[in-house]
Amino acid sequence: MSSILIRNIRAVDNITDTTADVLIKDGVIARICSGITEKAEQVIDGTGLVLIPSLFDMHVHLRDPGFTHKEDVLTGCAAALAGGVTGVLAMPNTKPPCDTPETISYIIEKSNGTGVDVYPVGCITGGMSGNGLCDYDALKAAGCICISDDGRPVENAENMRKALELSKENGLLVASHCEDLSIINGGIMNKGETSEKLGVKGMDRASEDYITAREMILASSVDARIHICHVSTEGSAAMIRFAKSRGVKVTCETAPHYFMLTDRLLEKRDADYRMNPPLRTPEDVRAIIEAIKDGTIDCIITDHAPHSAEEKADFEKAPNGVVGLETSLAATLTALYHTGEISLNRVVELMCINPRKILGLDIPCIREGSTADLVIADIERKWTVEPEKLHSKSKNTVFKGMELTGKPLVTISKGEIRYNAL
């Protein structure tokens, strides 16, 4: 395995913030100090750049199997590496849904050699039907570490309660897509002034808030862990904050578009700004930022959901979802770090440390002897998002044409450079 010497770089994890040389040998960080003279096969001048542990995105849709015209495991992993991501949790709404050991194994095997650790999420219910529970022991034996029917809620509360109860025995994290379909009833964007202006059916925030509350009540009733996916409303954030204060074992996530953008963007009638849950109001954006700052929100994910240009062409009929793997770090730095809302250490905690901690995975850090899963970034570089340059098969990004500040330049996975834009 090759050796890499990174000279004079600012090294930052959730605790450390120092400038030094970093030597990587045989897949691990061998030395961190100033003035390393040892020769290496690859030498990188890190002056003005920042080294952080690699990102882990615990909410992506790789669309494989079944929807590979949108994305597949290989293109999804390429997009991940370009975004500084070396680990992903892949959601189960594939075709067939990820409810058997065979599908779990297919995804893992296809990801081997990509430089990205792909963890397929198993379904809570067979075929994501909301009815019979899956064989969790079999899914776990195949490599599953989390279960969810993401893309859909588990409508039957007793089935969710049973899944949570079983999770205490099998150790699988239960992640919930919080949505009440009867409340949504065909809505396509946030219900409010903009939806009324456009004359389209809105998605009432009560849908998300109601199921968020339900899941935490169910988890508390059986003393189990629950992870709330893609939090977007002021109400859900407030309820999660309260539940945590009462000792409920709840963790949660949000995505950059929920703390950066509002539903006013949909006045353009462009389906690239449609996702589920939808963009909300300025008040929700501020509430999500506050929840990140006070620790209510545990991690930042992307909900990377690729769709083809043809599918996104009709504003009212297009499927929900946006891509995000290649812009997540840049968007977070732009909206939260460069505005002074959070520190760089907190960015690392939200995007690198906490997702792995929640899932019980090894946590990379910048310490001698640690596995070299790292990202070199220019956190001051300004760049404009050009969809056609993204590595993902699909280009449906909400950040198209936006200037962001901060960019991953090199992604190192287990001591090997897997992406290099220097």
Q: Is the peptide bond before 65 cis (omega within 30 degrees of 0)?
A: yes
Displacement of CA 305 from its chain's centroid (Å) = 11
CA dist 215 and 204 (Å) reads 18
Q: Which residues pair with 6 in a beta bridge?
A: 22, 44
Q: How would DSSP label each residue in 288-314?
A: HHHHHHTTSS-EE---B----TTTTSS
User: What beta strand segments (E) does 194-266 contain?
Assistant: 202-203, 226-228, 250-254
CB distance 210 to 239 below 8 Å? no
**Nearest to residue 90, comparing CAs of 114, 112, 113, 123?**
123
CA dist 46 and 258 (Å) reads 32
Q: Token pair 């952080």 is at which residue?
A: 52
Coil, helix or strand for 47?
coil
Displacement of CA 39 from its chain's centroid (Å) = 37
CA dist 240 and 131 (Å) reads 27
CA dist 338 and 374 (Å) reads 21
Q: Which two structure tokens, joined as six digits, stand for 8?
A: 């004079």
Residue 180: active-site member: no
The residue type found at 369 is: G
Q: Token pair 């998300």 is at which residue?
A: 208
Element (H, E) at 193: helix 193-198
Choose the catalytic residue: 13, 150, 298, 303. 303
Burial class of residue 162 in the structure, from the number of CB atoms within 10 Å of its CB (0-12 exposed, 13-18 middle, 19+ buried): middle
CA dist 99 and 218 (Å) reads 23
**172 secondary structure, DSSP code:** P
CB distance 265 to 218 below 8 Å? no
CB distance 105 to 142 below 8 Å? yes
CA dist 124 and 131 (Å) reads 9
DSSP β-ladder status, 4-12 and 50-53: parallel
Looking at the annotation, which residues are catalytic?
A: 303
